A = this chain, B = another copy of it.
Protein backbone atom coordinates (compact mmCIF):
# COMPACT_ATOMS: atom_id res chain seq x y z
CA UNK A 1 0.00 0.00 0.00
CA UNK A 2 2.15 2.85 -1.22
CA UNK A 3 -0.69 5.32 -0.61
CA UNK A 4 0.42 7.36 -3.50
CA UNK A 5 -2.23 9.96 -3.17
CA UNK A 6 -0.84 13.02 -4.85
CA UNK A 7 0.36 15.47 -2.27
CA UNK A 8 -0.68 19.09 -2.42
CA UNK A 9 2.82 19.93 -3.50
CA UNK A 10 2.35 17.61 -6.47
CA UNK A 11 -0.96 19.18 -7.25
CA UNK A 12 0.54 22.63 -7.27
CA UNK A 13 3.27 21.55 -9.61
CA UNK A 14 0.92 19.83 -11.93
CA UNK A 15 -1.32 22.86 -12.21
CA UNK A 16 1.62 25.19 -12.54
CA UNK A 17 0.97 25.75 -16.21
CA UNK A 18 -2.63 26.66 -15.72
CA UNK A 19 -1.70 29.32 -13.21
CA UNK A 20 -1.17 32.96 -13.98
CA UNK A 21 1.98 34.93 -13.30
CA UNK A 22 1.10 36.13 -9.81
CA UNK A 23 -0.27 32.74 -8.95
CA UNK A 24 2.88 31.03 -10.07
CA UNK A 25 4.90 33.44 -8.02
CA UNK A 26 2.76 32.49 -5.08
CA UNK A 27 3.03 28.81 -5.86
CA UNK A 28 6.78 28.98 -5.79
CA UNK A 29 6.67 30.83 -2.53
CA UNK A 30 4.55 28.07 -1.06
CA UNK A 31 6.87 25.36 -2.31
CA UNK A 32 9.83 27.32 -1.02
CA UNK A 33 9.27 26.21 2.49
CA UNK A 34 6.62 23.68 2.25
CA UNK A 35 4.42 23.12 4.03
CA UNK A 36 5.12 25.60 6.79
CA UNK A 37 4.25 28.71 4.87
CA UNK A 38 0.90 27.36 3.77
CA UNK A 39 -0.14 26.83 7.34
CA UNK A 40 0.03 30.46 8.33
CA UNK A 41 -2.64 33.04 7.77
CA UNK A 42 -3.54 33.90 4.22
CA UNK A 43 -2.36 37.46 4.50
CA UNK A 44 1.13 36.43 5.62
CA UNK A 45 1.46 34.05 2.75
CA UNK A 46 0.35 36.75 0.35
CA UNK A 47 2.87 39.20 1.72
CA UNK A 48 5.72 36.70 1.56
CA UNK A 49 4.97 36.05 -2.08
CA UNK A 50 4.40 39.73 -2.86
CA UNK A 51 0.92 39.18 -4.16
CA UNK A 52 -2.43 40.34 -2.89
CA UNK A 53 -4.62 38.34 -0.59
CA UNK A 54 -7.32 37.62 -3.15
CA UNK A 55 -4.73 36.06 -5.41
CA UNK A 56 -4.11 33.49 -2.75
CA UNK A 57 -7.79 32.81 -2.36
CA UNK A 58 -8.24 32.48 -6.10
CA UNK A 59 -5.35 30.14 -6.60
CA UNK A 60 -6.44 27.91 -3.80
CA UNK A 61 -9.81 27.62 -5.44
CA UNK A 62 -8.19 26.89 -8.74
CA UNK A 63 -6.44 23.99 -7.11
CA UNK A 64 -9.83 22.60 -6.26
CA UNK A 65 -10.31 23.64 -2.67
CA UNK A 66 -13.42 25.34 -1.49
CA UNK A 67 -11.45 27.97 0.32
CA UNK A 68 -8.26 28.71 2.14
CA UNK A 69 -9.32 27.00 5.37
CA UNK A 70 -10.03 23.79 3.50
CA UNK A 71 -6.65 24.04 1.84
CA UNK A 72 -4.99 24.39 5.21
CA UNK A 73 -6.94 21.49 6.63
CA UNK A 74 -5.72 19.20 3.89
CA UNK A 75 -2.18 20.43 4.35
CA UNK A 76 -2.40 19.50 7.99
CA UNK A 77 -3.79 16.11 7.11
CA UNK A 78 -0.87 15.57 4.83
CA UNK A 79 1.55 16.59 7.51
CA UNK A 80 -0.13 14.27 9.97
CA UNK A 81 0.12 11.37 7.54
CA UNK A 82 3.74 12.09 6.85
CA UNK A 83 4.62 12.21 10.53
CA UNK A 84 2.83 8.93 11.07
CA UNK A 85 4.79 7.22 8.35
CA UNK A 86 7.58 5.38 10.10
CA UNK A 87 9.53 5.18 6.87
CA UNK A 88 12.52 7.41 7.32
CA UNK A 89 12.34 9.04 3.97
CA UNK A 90 14.55 11.72 5.35
CA UNK A 91 17.64 10.28 3.85
CA UNK A 92 15.96 10.10 0.51
CA UNK A 93 16.38 13.02 -1.81
CA UNK A 94 13.90 12.26 -4.49
CA UNK A 95 10.83 11.37 -2.54
CA UNK A 96 8.88 8.68 -4.21
CA UNK A 97 11.99 6.99 -5.52
CA UNK A 98 13.32 4.02 -3.63
CA UNK A 99 16.45 4.88 -1.72
CA UNK A 100 18.42 2.63 -4.03
CA UNK A 101 17.39 4.61 -7.09
CA UNK A 102 20.24 6.13 -8.97
CA UNK A 103 18.88 9.61 -8.25
CA UNK A 104 19.31 9.11 -4.55
CA UNK A 105 22.55 7.20 -4.72
CA UNK A 106 24.13 9.77 -6.94
CA UNK A 107 22.94 12.73 -4.94
CA UNK A 108 24.18 11.15 -1.75
CA UNK A 109 27.58 10.76 -3.28
CA UNK A 110 27.71 14.32 -4.55
CA UNK A 111 26.67 15.82 -1.24
CA UNK A 112 29.30 13.71 0.40
CA UNK A 113 31.86 14.94 -2.06
CA UNK A 114 30.92 18.50 -1.35
CA UNK A 115 31.21 18.03 2.35
CA UNK A 116 34.62 16.41 2.12
CA UNK A 117 35.92 18.92 -0.34
CA UNK A 118 34.75 21.98 1.51
CA UNK A 119 36.07 20.57 4.76
CA UNK A 120 39.55 20.53 3.34
CA UNK A 121 39.62 23.95 1.82
CA UNK A 122 41.65 26.62 3.47
CA UNK A 123 39.60 29.80 3.36
CA UNK A 124 42.74 31.86 3.15
CA UNK A 125 43.82 29.99 0.05
CA UNK A 126 40.41 30.57 -1.37
CA UNK A 127 40.47 34.28 -0.68
CA UNK A 128 43.97 34.53 -2.07
CA UNK A 129 42.88 32.74 -5.25
CA UNK A 130 39.94 35.08 -5.66
CA UNK A 131 42.24 38.02 -5.15
CA UNK A 132 44.43 36.84 -7.99
CA UNK A 133 41.63 35.90 -10.35
CA UNK A 134 39.81 39.13 -9.77
CA UNK A 135 42.86 41.35 -10.11
CA UNK A 136 42.36 43.38 -13.30
CA UNK A 137 46.06 44.18 -13.50
CA UNK A 138 46.92 40.58 -14.17
CA UNK A 139 45.96 38.88 -17.39
CA UNK A 140 43.88 35.79 -16.73
CA UNK A 141 44.25 32.53 -18.59
CA UNK A 142 41.82 29.70 -18.06
CA UNK A 143 42.86 26.22 -19.10
CA UNK A 144 40.83 23.05 -19.40
CA UNK A 145 41.38 19.59 -20.76
CA UNK A 146 39.11 17.24 -22.61
CA UNK A 147 36.36 16.99 -20.05
CA UNK A 148 37.31 19.79 -17.72
CA UNK A 149 37.09 22.06 -20.70
CA UNK A 150 33.47 22.63 -19.80
CA UNK A 151 34.39 23.87 -16.35
CA UNK A 152 36.99 26.14 -17.84
CA UNK A 153 34.51 27.54 -20.28
CA UNK A 154 31.99 28.13 -17.55
CA UNK A 155 34.48 30.13 -15.57
CA UNK A 156 35.60 31.91 -18.69
CA UNK A 157 32.11 33.00 -19.68
CA UNK A 158 31.52 34.59 -16.33
CA UNK A 159 34.98 35.98 -15.77
CA UNK A 160 34.71 37.65 -19.12
CA UNK A 161 31.76 39.66 -17.92
CA UNK A 162 33.46 40.64 -14.71
CA UNK A 163 36.82 41.72 -16.02
CA UNK A 164 38.96 42.30 -19.10
CA UNK A 165 41.96 40.37 -20.35
CA UNK A 166 40.56 36.88 -19.96
CA UNK A 167 41.64 34.09 -22.27
CA UNK A 168 40.31 30.60 -22.56
CA UNK A 169 42.79 27.97 -23.66
CA UNK A 170 41.99 24.40 -24.56
CA UNK A 171 44.97 22.31 -23.74
CA UNK A 172 43.67 19.69 -26.16
CA UNK A 173 44.02 22.05 -29.05
CA UNK A 174 47.26 22.30 -30.95
CA UNK A 175 47.13 26.03 -30.92
CA UNK A 176 47.69 26.66 -27.26
CA UNK A 177 51.37 27.56 -27.55
CA UNK A 178 50.30 30.67 -29.44
CA UNK A 179 48.44 31.93 -26.42
CA UNK A 180 51.53 31.74 -24.29
CA UNK A 181 53.42 34.28 -26.33
CA UNK A 182 52.19 37.25 -24.36
CA UNK A 183 52.25 35.80 -20.89
CA UNK A 184 53.99 38.09 -18.42
CA UNK A 185 55.26 37.52 -14.94
CA UNK A 186 52.43 37.82 -12.46
CA UNK A 187 49.74 36.77 -14.88
CA UNK A 188 47.32 34.23 -13.55
CA UNK A 189 46.57 30.74 -14.85
CA UNK A 190 43.54 28.88 -13.66
CA UNK A 191 44.06 25.28 -14.65
CA UNK A 192 41.57 22.46 -14.48
CA UNK A 193 42.99 18.98 -14.50
CA UNK A 194 41.20 15.88 -13.32
CA UNK A 195 42.17 12.30 -13.94
CA UNK A 196 43.16 11.08 -16.31
CA UNK A 197 45.60 13.90 -16.19
CA UNK A 198 46.56 15.27 -19.54
CA UNK A 199 50.07 15.64 -20.69
CA UNK A 200 49.36 18.72 -22.67
CA UNK A 201 48.01 20.42 -19.61
CA UNK A 202 51.16 19.65 -17.68
CA UNK A 203 53.36 20.95 -20.48
CA UNK A 204 51.32 24.11 -20.62
CA UNK A 205 51.56 24.56 -16.89
CA UNK A 206 55.31 24.14 -17.03
CA UNK A 207 55.66 26.82 -19.63
CA UNK A 208 53.43 29.18 -17.72
CA UNK A 209 55.39 28.51 -14.58
CA UNK A 210 58.65 29.21 -16.33
CA UNK A 211 57.32 32.53 -17.44
CA UNK A 212 56.61 33.45 -13.85
CA UNK A 213 52.85 33.17 -13.95
CA UNK A 214 50.81 32.37 -10.86
CA UNK A 215 49.04 29.04 -11.15
CA UNK A 216 45.75 28.17 -9.49
CA UNK A 217 44.84 24.54 -9.92
CA UNK A 218 41.49 22.83 -9.68
CA UNK A 219 42.03 19.12 -9.57
CA UNK A 220 40.67 15.97 -7.99
CA UNK A 221 41.49 14.29 -4.73
CA UNK A 222 44.52 12.52 -6.20
CA UNK A 223 45.91 15.74 -7.56
CA UNK A 224 47.18 16.37 -11.01
CA UNK A 225 50.99 16.47 -11.37
CA UNK A 226 50.50 20.15 -12.09
CA UNK A 227 50.10 20.72 -8.38
CA UNK A 228 53.85 20.81 -7.94
CA UNK A 229 53.85 23.97 -9.97
CA UNK A 230 50.73 25.46 -8.52
CA UNK A 231 50.71 28.36 -6.10
CA UNK A 232 47.25 27.44 -4.92
CA UNK A 233 45.59 24.07 -5.35
CA UNK A 234 42.00 23.02 -4.73
CA UNK A 235 41.26 19.34 -4.82
CA UNK A 236 37.69 18.12 -5.09
CA UNK A 237 36.33 14.71 -4.35
CA UNK A 238 34.87 13.47 -7.59
CA UNK A 239 33.87 9.85 -6.98
CA UNK A 240 30.33 8.87 -7.78
CA UNK A 241 28.53 5.61 -8.52
CA UNK A 242 29.29 5.80 -12.20
CA UNK A 243 31.99 4.88 -14.63
CA UNK A 244 32.86 8.55 -14.81
CA UNK A 245 33.73 11.20 -12.32
CA UNK A 246 31.60 14.01 -11.07
CA UNK A 247 32.35 17.62 -11.87
CA UNK A 248 29.64 18.92 -9.58
CA UNK A 249 31.92 19.79 -6.70
CA UNK A 250 34.39 21.50 -8.99
CA UNK A 251 31.55 23.48 -10.48
CA UNK A 252 30.43 24.49 -7.02
CA UNK A 253 33.89 25.85 -6.30
CA UNK A 254 34.02 27.64 -9.61
CA UNK A 255 30.68 29.26 -9.04
CA UNK A 256 31.74 30.33 -5.59
CA UNK A 257 34.86 31.90 -7.03
CA UNK A 258 32.70 33.73 -9.53
CA UNK A 259 30.45 35.02 -6.79
CA UNK A 260 33.45 36.15 -4.78
CA UNK A 261 35.26 38.00 -7.52
CA UNK A 262 32.02 39.55 -8.65
CA UNK A 263 31.52 40.99 -5.17
CA UNK A 264 35.09 42.13 -5.13
CA UNK A 265 34.76 44.07 -8.40
CA UNK A 266 31.12 44.96 -8.17
CA UNK A 267 31.28 48.42 -9.69
CA UNK A 268 33.19 47.14 -12.66
CA UNK A 269 30.97 44.10 -13.11
CA UNK A 270 27.83 46.16 -13.07
CA UNK A 271 29.15 48.45 -15.73
CA UNK A 272 30.33 45.61 -17.91
CA UNK A 273 27.06 43.74 -17.51
CA UNK A 274 25.09 46.74 -18.63
CA UNK A 275 27.26 47.24 -21.63
CA UNK A 276 26.90 43.58 -22.47
CA UNK A 277 23.14 43.81 -22.28
CA UNK A 278 23.22 46.78 -24.58
CA UNK A 279 25.22 44.87 -27.08
CA UNK A 280 22.84 41.95 -26.92
CA UNK A 281 19.96 44.28 -27.50
CA UNK A 282 21.65 45.69 -30.51
CA UNK A 283 22.22 42.22 -31.84
CA UNK A 284 18.55 41.51 -31.48
CA UNK A 285 17.58 44.65 -33.31
CA UNK A 286 19.92 43.70 -36.01
CA UNK A 287 18.39 40.30 -36.33
CA UNK A 288 14.94 41.75 -36.60
CA UNK A 289 15.77 43.32 -39.90
CA UNK A 290 17.54 40.43 -41.50
Task: Give chain A's interface residues, CB within 8 Å of chain B.
Answer: 9, 13, 16-17, 24, 28, 31-37, 39-40, 72-73, 76-77, 79-80, 83-84, 86-87, 90-91, 93-97, 101-104, 106-107, 110-111, 114-116, 118-123, 126, 146-147, 149-151, 153-154, 157-158, 221-223, 227-228, 240-244, 246-248, 251-252, 255-256, 258-260, 262-263, 269, 273
Once the chains are docked, how many angstroms separate the CA of A97 from the CA of B83?
A: 19
Beta-carbon contact of A123 and B96 below 8 Å:
yes
Beta-carbon contact of B83 and A36 below 8 Å:
yes
A32: chain B residues at CB < 8 Å are 116
Nearest CB on B from A150, distance (A): 5
Copies held by the complex: 2
Nearest CB on B from A282, distance (A): 15
Beta-carbon contact of B94 and A90 below 8 Å:
no
Beta-carbon contact of A76 and B36 below 8 Å:
yes
Main DSSP-derived SS at the A contact region: helix
Beta-carbon contact of A273 and B243 below 8 Å:
yes
Once the chains are docked, how many angstroms separate the CA of A40 from the CA of B221?
A: 24
Indicate whether A93 sits within 8 Å of B114 (C-beta atoms), given known contacts A150-B157, A252-B107, A259-B241. Answer: yes
Beta-carbon contact of B86 and A103 below 8 Å:
no
A94: chain B residues at CB < 8 Å are 118-119, 121, 123, 126
Which residue of chain B lies nearest to A34 when distances are taken between CB atoms in the complex? B83
Beta-carbon contact of B119 and A95 below 8 Å:
yes
Nearest CB on B from A162, distance (A): 9
Indicate whether A13 sits within 8 Å of B120 (C-beta atoms), given known contacts A154-B150, A248-B251, A252-B107. Answer: yes
Partner of A221, one of B28, B83, B246, B262: B28
A110: chain B residues at CB < 8 Å are 114, 252, 255
